[in-house]
Chains A and B, each alone.
Chain A
């Protein structure tokens, strides 16, 4: 037991849904570090479990629809990477995209299918079934506009796949102009998480920009609390 485990950083710290966070990934929450997809997936799992309160997200408490569906980065990438999305659509039906009132979609600009690691910018895309609109929240102007438009088109294929009754109206794509903007070259992932939290809580993404300052600490405390809960 004397020698410290060489691979201790790869030890799973805690797990929510299908996402296991590694001890080593906590460093990504230090100031200045870029977030990876795993942190985002984990936070999405937390939002689903603890923040999207029962109900359908429209706030009237009657539960007349399904709540928000979150699409983590790996799922989004998989949807966009297949040459023909109709191959995947049947097996994706359990995700409930066709019935969701809102879909929260993590957008990354990674397009290479051969790189083992890639991407440089995160943003958030939110689909609202009510007005058939994909609204893009990008903390760096229109950096991810092209990626988000491509992703919206693919996600819409899954949303409308086998819909009953069939969806006849075209979805629209809107770049949100009131999105809080990052002032550095590393916080886009943090902004994405903040926007996703606002949506989960039923607030506009412009709500409480003051929370952005402490967002890394907040995410860290969420993870610490879940890790502690799982150690018990």
Chain B
């Protein structure tokens, strides 16, 4: 088993302020945590499709959206779902898993 925390590439926590400083409580903060433990957080409206967050994450992380899977409580998150539908709460975490392949 390899060490899951390689030091050199851990990114600093980044805060997404684009949603404005203190909006009404229909905004919640969602952490997006990669398999290597990088934690980025976004503010998003409860009724905004999570595709917005997913795409923002991918462009920031420099990965193609087709190469990652977003998971909440062990299940895949679809792009058209909202935080409201998934009953997400402020501070909840979405995990990002990379594509897996196999053939041999």
Q: How far, in whole Å, are A24 and B67 apart by their CA atoms in the complex?
A: 12
Q: Is B24 an interface residue (CB 8 A)?
A: no
- A230 and B78 alpha carbons, distance in the complex (Å): 16
Given contacts A15-B78, A121-B103, A185-B103, contact A113 B36 (CB under 8 A): yes
Q: Which of A99-127 contact B (CB under 8 A)?
A: 108-122
Greatest chain A CB density within 10 A among B6, B76, B78 is at B76
Contact A113 B103 (CB under 8 A): no
- Separation in Å of the A90 CB from the closest CB of chain B? 9
CA distance in complex: A188, B78 (Å):
27
| A75 adjacent to B35 (CB under 8 Å) | no
Is B36 a contact of A10 with CB atoms below 8 Å? no
A27 CA / B65 CA spacing, docked (Å): 18
Instruction: Give the residues in chain B near A24, CB-CB below 8 Å.
Output: 66
Chain B 55-96, CB within 8 Å of chain A: the 1/0 string?
000000001111111010111111100000000000000010
Residues of A within 8 A of B77 (CB): 18
Q: Which residue of A lies closest to B6 (CB)?
A: A114
Q: Once bound together, how far apart are the Cα atoms of A88 and B95, in whole Å?
A: 11
Residue of chain A at shortest CB distance from B1: A111
A228 is an interface residue with CB less than 8 A from chain B: no
Q: Are B100 and A73 in contact (CB under 8 A)?
A: yes
- A1-32 contacts to B, CB under 8 A, are 10, 12, 15, 17-20, 22, 24-25
Tally of contact residues, B, Cβ under 8 A: 32
Q: Would you call A188 and B36 a contact (CB within 8 A)?
A: no
B104-A185 in contact (CB<8A): yes
Does B66 contact A22, Cβ atoms closer than 8 Å? yes
Are B69 and A37 in contact (CB-based, < 8 A)? yes
| Residue pair B100, A37 in contact (C-beta under 8 Å) | yes
A contact face: mostly helix, strand, loop, or mixed? mixed
Contact A120 B35 (CB under 8 A): no
In this complex, how many residues of chain A approach chain B with their Cβ under 8 Å: the count is 53
Q: For the complex, is A143 an interface residue (Cβ under 8 Å from B)?
A: yes
Flag if B2 contacts A111 (CB, 8 Å): yes
Residue contact B98 to A115, C-beta cutoff 8 Å:
yes
Chain B residues positioned under 8 Å from A74 (CB to CB):
69, 71, 76, 97, 100
Task: Tell me the chain A residues, 57-98 only, with Cβ under 8 Å from chain B.
Answer: 72-75, 77-79, 81, 83, 88, 91-92, 94-95
- Whether the pair B74, A75 counts as a contact (CB closer than 8 A) is yes
Expressed in whole angstroms, the minimum distance between the Cβ of A161 and any Cβ of chain B is 12
What is the minimal beta-carbon distance from A151 to any residue of chain B, in angstroms?
Answer: 12
Binding site for A on B (CB under 8 A): 1-2, 4, 6, 9, 35-37, 63-69, 71, 73-79, 95, 97-104
* 29 A-B pairs in the complex with CB atoms less than 8 angstroms apart: A15-B78, A18-B77, A25-B66, A34-B102, A34-B103, A37-B69, A37-B99, A37-B100, A41-B76, A75-B74, A79-B74, A88-B74, A91-B74, A94-B74, A108-B102, A110-B98, A112-B2, A113-B2, A113-B36, A114-B6, A114-B9, A114-B35, A116-B68, A118-B98, A120-B103, A121-B102, A121-B104, A140-B104, A188-B102
| A-B complex: 10 closest residue pairs judged by Cβ atoms | A18-B76, A34-B103, A122-B102, A186-B103, A37-B100, A74-B69, A91-B73, A119-B100, A74-B97, A108-B100
